[in-house]
Amino acid sequence: MGRYILRRLLQLVPVFIGTTFLIYLLVWALPGDPFAGKCGERACPDAYITRMREEFHLDENVVVQYLRYLGNLLQGDFGQTFSGTSVGELIAAAYPVTLRLAIVALLIEALIGVLAGVLTGLRSGGFLDNLVLVSTLFLISIPVFVTGYVLQTVLGLRLGLISPTVSADAGFGELIVPGFVLASLSMAYVARLTRTSIAENRRSDYVRTAVAKGLEPRRVVGVHLLRNSLIPVVTFLGVDLGSLMSGAIVTEGIFNIRGIGGLVFRSIALREGATVTGVVVLLVIVYLLMNLLVDVVYAVLDPRIRYV
Amino acid sequence: MSDPSVLGTAVAEPDPPPAGGADAQERARSLASDAWHDLRRRPLFLISVALIAILLVLAAFPQLFTSADPNAGDLARSRQAPSGQAWFGYDLLGRDVYARTIYGTRVSIVVGVLATTFTVLLGGTLGMLAGYHGGWVDTLVSRLTDVVFGLPFVLGAIVILSSFREAIGEGAVGITALVVLTMAALSWPVSMRITRSAAITARNQDYVRAARALGAGPARVIWRHMLPNCLAPVLVYATIALGAFIGVEATLSFLGIGLRDPVVSWGVMISEARDYIRVAPHLLLFPAAFLAVTVLAFVMLGDAVRDAFDPKGR
């Protein structure tokens, strides 16, 4: 197991370098003046541009720039914005909020999705099954921002049940409705995936054996069936945490949550390349580590899978 | 709809259908005709095909359904509610929402179809090459796929779209092409993985070995023997992805970086409506309803096709 994890970690390195280099190239090597509009209503003075280009090494080869960035990154330094703020601090302020939102969303989608999937997978063809099928179709078809605006208007402005925008410290309670909005699409996928998986495994030999042994239905479903059927769901959930965080940009915009989505959006508008690169690099790391974690969790859930 | 790549997990789940051969002979019907036989009896399939047919007519001949000009604004009727005169009301600039919704169908569907086509072509070609050749080609292509797959979709799209925004100018064709290409460039990895796994299965089948033994070159083996047998899982993915791409276009336009005026699309309309949702909800409601119904139609079609092609469901 230890060797397997080590090998996987080594495999992550080229992917990490490739992805971060790609994003670095996109942000820094494309045409466009990074200092346009930086000095108010007039063009920036040449002296300022020369100094900044030197300070940020913009005249060097992009590969050299990237390697320097990577070197700093390995020491935990995300660099600075053009105005001298540390990118690390900006991210440290915004990141926990987005992480909280993504975790709330993940919990909601796992809870509702798996519950709906198990109930419909056990009794396919009934009223509940069709209800869940139709509602997942609707969740998949309605874009997240429409769900967001409708919930915000109805719950927040018409009924006054929630505050339409989230306050600066964004506690867990305030994030439930935004989390639900963010989770809505994935919730539908989790429900369908669980349903398919349960329906498939319900006819398998080990379930028949468990029933024949005289185990009570609760134990057959809870231990034998569920544990085997949840493997694809766990994969989905693990990989989804990364996409929830990068997809949170829309939800954050609607509910005025001060997370990394808004940070990236502002930074792109202001051409603050360092912030954009920093956030994306962080999301890539989360995505890669979650993938690794999922593979390790496999072995815990399914004793047939053994890593050498 | 923020990330079409999540579809891959849901779609790639069923095993690739058996490659013709034994299964088809027992039934004396090919997999495709068997699936077609099955599909014609499904209400979901029939409903979605009917919906898509209507949408295609809307997209092809919008002038049949409305005589109003979608870009003719009259500020005197700004944000007027739906009436007999204008069924869906007027938007902020006094443009007919009904006409804009009808005309928006074309762009939304064209973007969805083109993005899906490019995604499948790019991913399919790479996946087929990787699956057929194996070895270092496979390693190289697979690592490249991992790299692109690791890039968060929305953030990647924002970076690309805002970088090239000035380069493409103000023309409708340029704006649309950029959005389509960006979506394809970021979403091909899923179709590459699906094609690759189908190609790896097909490569070791007897008919491929026979063709090779008879002296067929790689091009012929891939084109005549492997492609027809690897197509089904990719096509199923493509149908569902088509719906997702239409939603993604709307999301990007909503963020203000996708399509924009003078292009008329549902995403552009929703994006323009978002600041007035409290005073004029009809601005959001009608394009969003059309968008949802379109995505729904394609997702239902994809569901039905997947079930029909899935040998386990028989």
Q: Do B284 and A287 touch (CB under 8 A)?
A: no
Is residue B23 in some structural domain?
Answer: no
pLDDT above 90: residue B192: yes
Q: Do A247 and B148 touch (CB under 8 A)?
A: no
- Containing domain of residue B149, as a range? 32-313
Q: Work out the average pLDDT over A232-259.
A: 86
Q: Do B288 and A280 touch (CB under 8 A)?
A: no
Question: How confident is the model over A51-67, as pLDDT tens digits?
Answer: 877 777 777 778 888 88
The dotted CATH code for A91-301 is 1.10.3720.10
Question: Considering CB atoms only, which of B13, B144, B274 is closest to A193?
Answer: B13
Q: Work out the average pLDDT over B112-141.
A: 92
Q: Does the CB of B251 have a partner CB in chain A at under 8 Å? A: yes
Q: Work out the average pLDDT over B286-305.
A: 87
Residue A37: which pLDDT band, with cuts at 50, 70 and 90? low
Is residue B24 in some structural domain?
Answer: no
8 A C-beta contact, residue B23 and residue B311: yes
8 A C-beta contact, residue B88 and residue B82: yes
Q: Do A279 and B155 touch (CB under 8 A)?
A: yes
Question: How confident is the model over A141-161, as pLDDT tens digits?
Answer: 888 888 888 888 888 877 877
For chain B, how many structural domains are there in total?
1
Range scoring the smallest mean pLDDT among A25-34, B145-154, B283-292: A25-34
pLDDT above 70: residue B7: no
Residue extents of the structural domains in chain A: 2-87, 91-301
Residue B119: which pLDDT band, with cuts at 50, 70 and 90? very high
Q: Do B270 and A145 touch (CB under 8 A)?
A: yes
8 A C-beta contact, residue B49 and residue B258: no
pLDDT above 50: residue B217: yes
Q: How is residue B268 written in tokens?
A: 């552009």
Question: Considering CB atoms only, which of B1, B144, B277 is closest to A143?
Answer: B1
Report the pLDDT value the prediction gives residue B311, as an integer from 0 to 100. Answer: 58
In B165-226, which residue ranges form alpha helices assigned H by DSSP?
172-203, 206-213, 218-220
Q: Do B250 and A143 touch (CB under 8 A)?
A: yes
Q: What percent of chain B has pLDDT over 70?
A: 89
Angle at A284 between CA A280 and CA A286, to 5 degrees: 115
Nearest CA in chain B to A34: B163
Question: How confident is the model over A252-271, as pLDDT tens digits?
Answer: 888 888 888 888 888 887 77
Identify the CATH number of the domain in which residue B81 sits: 1.10.3720.10
Is residue B154 in some structural domain?
Answer: yes
pLDDT above 70: residue A250: yes
| Chain B residues near residue A146 by CB distance under 8 angstroms | 270, 284, 288, 291-292
Residue contacts between A and B (CB atoms, under 8 Å): 158
Exposed, middle or buried by CB within 10 Å (0-12, 13-18, 19+), for B169?
A: exposed
Q: Does the CB of B146 have a partner CB in chain A at under 8 Å? A: yes
Report the pLDDT value the prediction gives residue B12, as an integer from 0 to 100. Answer: 42
Q: Do B152 and A253 touch (CB under 8 A)?
A: no
Q: Does the CB of B139 have a partner CB in chain A at under 8 Å? A: no
| Chain A residues near residue B11 by CB distance under 8 angstroms | none
Q: Do B251 and A30 touch (CB under 8 A)?
A: no
| Chain A residues near residue B154 by CB distance under 8 angstroms | 246-247, 249-250
ipTM, interface predicted TM-score of the complex:
0.80
Is residue B5 in some structural domain?
Answer: no
Please, which residues 101-130 of chain B have a Cβ atom closer than 8 Å to chain A? none
Q: Do A23 and B146 touch (CB under 8 A)?
A: no
Q: Work out the average pLDDT over A101-126.
A: 89
